[in-house]
Amino acid sequence: MRRIASAFCAASVAAIMATSATAQSAGWCAGNDIVVFSGGPAGGTFNSIIDKGANQAAIDTGANVQIVYSDWNFEQMVTQFRDMIGQTPEGIAMMGHPGDSALMPLAAEADAAGIKVMYMNVDVPEVRARFGSGFVGASLYDQGRALAAETIRLAADQLSPGDTAIVMSRWEAGNRAQRELGLADALEEWGMEVIKLQEADGASADQMLQLPVLTSAVLTNPGTKLIGYPGGPWVSAAPVFMDSIGVEPGSIIGVGFDIGQGVKESLESGHMLVTADQQPYLQGYMPVLSLCQQLVYDLAPLNVDTGSGFVTVDNVGSVAELANQGFR
């Protein structure tokens, strides 16, 4: 009896494996339309990395992936989200930047229409708690606090309690500003005076629009020792900002978030000390994968913290070429 049972089990396992192999073949998610919100403009330094991840996921799964660009305009994201719901795709990977209040009614519409939604880059915990959606991105507030701790550790001989720091963000956007808030809170707790500088309109897409605002803030606060930049394109633009203001490399410490094309030059020039990496490639890839897994295998949505550590001049060489290729 034992031998018969064993043979039956072996045959069953073989059959299951054969079925699984067929299901996992190329195109296993074919026939499913998935919309991915890229966040920024087409070809943007940061969001083009998200695009690469989403496009690779389309190749790997066979899903039909459509990418939507929003120029980092939160109102536009909301309008586009509503429009995409109206097209009834099987899944949407949505940027959380507009926040819980703005996205809650649209999340309800998507749920009623049977559309699976994953959120990416910026968390919307209230929306996800209500509808059980997943999230792929860094734990923003914690990442900001961790960057502050790393900054203080690396610049222990340059910074002191009482020094002035400027931290830039979209401060009116509570969900989006969490990582800069974490940075500011931790620096203030350590004893620094923090100036929360508002991003200029449109500066998320075109950082040079911030130059007059930042110039004024630095000139008004000549004792500024630290500037916190709110994203990869900003990190890459740091040398341009400082050269335009007439600040020598290292005179004001630059710290920020994300890597990408130009980060190596910013670190090697001395205008940037450290940047926190959140791996946007995964933020494009994993939501598509998770949506396919939900649609095809009825699996629960993924929740992935993509924050992975810090990049400085000492280790940027290991990722610089990948950054130039648009993967990091």
- The answer to whether residue 325 is domain-embedded is no
- The answer to whether residue 327 is domain-embedded is no
**Which residues are CB-contacts of 144 (< 8 A; sequence separation ≥ 6)?**
178, 179, 180, 181, 182, 183, 184, 185, 186, 257, 276
Q: Which helix (H) or strand (E) holds 36?
A: strand 33-37
Q: What whole-number distance in Å separates Cα of residue 277 and Cα of residue 310?
A: 6
In the chain, alpha helices (H): 2-23, 47-61, 74-86, 100-112, 125-131, 140-154, 178-190, 211-220, 232-245, 263-268, 280-297, 317-324
pLDDT digits (tens, 9 = 90+) for 193-234: 999 999 999 998 899 999 999 999 999 999 999 999 998 899
Q: What is the CATH number of the domain that holds 232?
A: 3.40.50.2300
Judge whether 187 and 226 are in contact, CB under 8 Å.
yes
pLDDT digits (tens, 9 = 90+) for 57-115: 999 999 999 999 999 999 999 999 999 999 999 999 999 999 999 999 999 999 999 99
Q: Which residue's entry shows tokens 């130059």?
A: 211
Residue 218, CA distances (Å) to 176, 223, 275 in order:
24, 8, 21
* Domain shared by 165 and 243, yes or no: yes
Q: Which residue's entry shows tokens 């305009």?
A: 73
Note the pTM of the prediction, 2 decimals: 0.86
* Domain shared by 70 and 132, yes or no: yes
pLDDT digits (tens, 9 = 90+) for 12-33: 444 433 444 444 678 999 999 9
| pLDDT range class, residue 7, cuts 50, 70, 90 | very low
pLDDT digits (tens, 9 = 90+) for 150-201: 999 999 999 999 999 999 999 999 999 999 999 999 999 999 999 999 999 9
* Domain shared by 121 and 185, yes or no: no
The DSSP output letter for 252 is B
* Domain shared by 130 and 253, yes or no: no
Q: Residue 241: how many CA atoms within 13 Å on its side-chain side?
A: 31
Q: Which residue's entry shows tokens 């791996």?
A: 279
Longest dimension (CA), the chain: 87
Residue 93 pairs in a beta bridge with: 36, 118
Question: In the prediction, which pLDDT does 324 show?
Answer: 84
* Domain shared by 265 and 284, yes or no: no
* Domain shared by 185 and 302, yes or no: no
Q: Is 166 left (phi over 0), alpha (psi -120 to 50) or beta?
A: beta
Range of the domain at 196: 140-277
**Which residues are CB-contacts of 151 (< 8 A; sequence separation ≥ 6)?**
159, 187, 226, 253, 255, 273, 274
